[in-house]
Amino acid sequence: MTEEHPARLHVVPAAPTTPVDPGLHPLEVGSDRDGLLYLPDEPGPRPLLVVLHGATMHARQMVRPLLAAADETGVALLVPDSRRETWDVLLGGYGPDVAFIDASLAATFERCWIDPTALSVGGVSDGASYALSLGLANGDTFGSVVAFSPGFVAPPQLIGRPRVFLSHGIHDSILPIDGCGRPIAAGLQNSGYELEYVEFDGGHEMPDAVVRSAFHWLAQDNTR
């Protein structure tokens, strides 16, 4: 029997049992570090984007610049906090954050009617690297990946074939585009992934126009 890789998610989508109203809600899965769930005022099953913050950040910082785009497109947001200052694979290997994201997804399904065919994962900086790695390793769960300024991609195994939206600032001094965004994009294209790659005139950031483009790209995927 083949050993299961450590980045594997196990959550199974289900109908909500304790639905909540639209708006911003604490995740209530963790204690010191938890996360947020944002539900746009949209009827019917919603697409869901799991959003992973950058190093030293937390969910409340991450969610703010995404709310307008989420409302525009009807995409629900699950924004978990990492267990430590950044995601586990950068601190020694996959483990506690994978388990927490699994539990966070299960809690989201209990509270919100989510379209199981429209699950995506995304993030910024370290969170973008982690989203790419988790997304490519769980392509049977996530149909799309959104990566704002990632530094690397390191899935322990490739499963499925998610679409990828990748953006990077040409003046990024934290994770320079020539060593990060461009080679990551080239690697994805050479491996046959469907890629939307955006370079912008900026630094290590998520410009509002790029965020909105990413969300509309997600929404377009949901209409296919």
Residue 214: half-sphere exposure toward Cβ, Cα within 13 Å: 33
Q: Give pLDDT tens digits for 47-100.
A: 999 999 999 999 999 999 999 999 999 999 999 999 999 999 999 999 999 999
Mean pLDDT of the chain: 94
23-222 falls under which CATH superfamily? Alpha/Beta hydrolase fold, catalytic domain (3.40.50.1820)
Percent of the chain with pLDDT over 90: 90
- Strand-pair category, 35-39 with 76-80: antiparallel
By the 8 A CB rule, do 76 and 109 touch? no
Query: In the chain, what are the domain boundaries?
Result: 23-222
pLDDT confidence bin for 3, thresholds 50/70/90: low
**Digit-coded pLDDT (tens) for 155-213:** 999 999 999 999 999 999 999 999 999 999 999 999 999 999 999 999 999 999 999 99
The confidence score (pLDDT) of residue 2 equals 46
Tokens of 7: 């980045």
Instruction: Give the pLDDT band (50/70/90) at residue 224.
Output: very low
Count Cα atoms within 13 angstroms, Cβ side, for 186.
7
Q: What is the pLDDT of residues 109-168, one digit of tens each?
A: 999 999 999 999 999 999 999 999 999 999 999 999 999 999 999 999 999 999 999 999
What does the alpha-carbon distance between residue 68 and residue 223 come to, in Å, rounded to a whole number?
20
Distance CA 100, CA 1 (A): 26
pLDDT of 101 strictly over 60: yes
Confidence of residue 223 (pLDDT cuts 50, 70, 90): very low
Supply the pLDDT for residue 5: 86
Please give the model's pTM, rounded to 2 decimal places. 0.95
Three-state SS letters, the chain: CCCCCCCCCCCCCCCCCCCCCCEEEECCCCCCCCEEEEECCCCCCEEEEEEECCCCCCHHHHHHHHHHHHHHHCCEEEEECCCCCCCHHHHCCCCHHHHHHHHHHHHHHHHCCEEEEEEEEEEECHHHHHHHHHHHHCCCCCCEEEEECCCCCCCCCCCCCCEEEEEEECCCCCCCCCCCHHHHHHHHHHCCCCEEEEEECCCCCCCHHHHHHHHHHHHHHHCC
Please name which of 131, 155, 134, 96 lies closest in space to residue 206, comparing C-alpha atoms: 131
Q: Which of 28-32, 99-103, 210-214 has the lowest mean pLDDT?
A: 28-32
Q: How far apart are CA 161 and CA 73, in angstroms?
A: 23
